[in-house]
Amino acid sequence: MVCNVCGLEEATIHLTEIINSKMVELHLCEQCAYEKGTDVKQYFNFSELLEGLTEGSEGIAKQAEKKEVLRCKSCGISFDDFGKSGRLGCPECYQTFSKLLIPLIKRIHRSTQHIGKKPTKISGEVKFHMELRELHERLRKLVEQEAFEDAAKVRDLIKQLEERAKKGAAKNGT
């Protein structure tokens, strides 16, 4: 998305305000935001965001409070501490607080499964490798599901892509 002010640079700062029940969005590049005196930090505090989102899990958190404060056995952090700092203490925290974290993650990301993201500007070689990796993953899943006919088609497609890549490399002298 291009900056609304200069119209030249990529917008990296996106502000949304609701004015008279209408949503107004402003997309700025870093330079225009700096010139306009917009300090993103004054609009966005990660700890406050997490604190607000964890409050949505209050029902579960209050149940935990009634019994006892839920703490990670490994590092000793409580869910309250996480809400204040925005950081978990150790990898074990994910298991300890899973019932509280899953609704939070769903609210933030709209899913609990990371499916990845492709950059908009990638070279042909990187794109080829990503496509090949996706096909290998698809092949693995099809074999797991015992969908052997579909798996054979994907396997053949992988072979074709790899052969084309070898021919291209041979033409380029690599």
On the question of pLDDT at 151 being above 90, the answer is: yes
Range of the domain at 94: 46-109
**Number of domains composing the chain:** 3
* 158's tokens: 């992988």
Please give the helix or strand (H or E) that residue 2 lies within, else none: none
pTM above 0.85, yes or no: no
On the question of pLDDT at 143 being above 90, the answer is: yes
Say yes or no: 35 and 56 in one domain.
no
Question: At which of 82, 109, 136 does a domain end?
Answer: 109
Say yes or no: 39 and 85 in one domain.
no
State the Cα–Cα distance between residues 117 and 115, nearest whole angstrom: 7
Say yes or no: 52 and 97 in one domain.
yes
pLDDT tens per residue across span 101-113: 888 888 777 777 7
In this structure, is residue 118 part of a structural domain? no
Say yes or no: 140 and 129 in one domain.
yes
State the Cα–Cα distance between residues 7 and 130, nearest whole angstrom: 32
Say yes or no: 96 and 57 in one domain.
yes
What percent of the chain lies above the pLDDT cut of 70? 75
Question: At which of 57, 74, 109 does a domain end?
Answer: 109
